[in-house]
Amino acid sequence: MNYFNKNVLLVDDDPDVLEQQNVLLKSLGFNTVCASGESEAMDILKSFKPDLAVIDLMMEEMDGGFILAYEIKKISNDIPVIMTTAVTNVTGMEFENSSLEEKNWIKADVILPKPVRFEQLKGEIQRLFMED
């Protein structure tokens, strides 16, 4: 699938993860804009509407990814949001968005546990764009 001229917002407070995702998504043809946390991402979203957002769950705030996903969906519910998280590894808590109740408060379209394999991320992106 060709993603040229598609813009993706990448948000993660881990610079290594951010750089890795940036390189990999550019290799698929995406134009990328990176932010190191939800505050920076919120500033970017004032003048930039992504076609896709890949965001971390825990950044400056423990629930920063949830808040950011909510704000992205306020801009446009059509922007797919992939949330990545190491929370299960750290706390044992698992998040899903499969039930209607969960979808009401978790505004991510996909939740992926870290470390995220590139093939897994690529497959979810392909699936999300096929749904358009």
What is the C-alpha end-to-end distance of the chain, expressed in Å?
13
DSSP class of 108: -
What does the alpha-carbon distance between residue 83 and residue 18 come to, in Å, rounded to a whole number? 13
User: What are the tens digits of pLDDT across the range 69-128?
Assistant: 999 999 999 999 999 988 655 545 555 555 455 555 467 899 998 899 999 999 999 999
Six-digit token string for 60 = 């400056």
Domains and CATH numbers, the chain: 7-86+103-122 (3.40.50.2300)
Q: Is 30 helix (H, G, I), strand (E, B) or coil?
A: coil
User: What are the tens digits of pLDDT across the range 19-69?
Assistant: 999 999 999 999 999 999 999 999 999 999 999 999 999 887 778 899 999
Phi-psi region of 29 (alpha: psi -120 to 50; beta: other; left: phi over 0): left
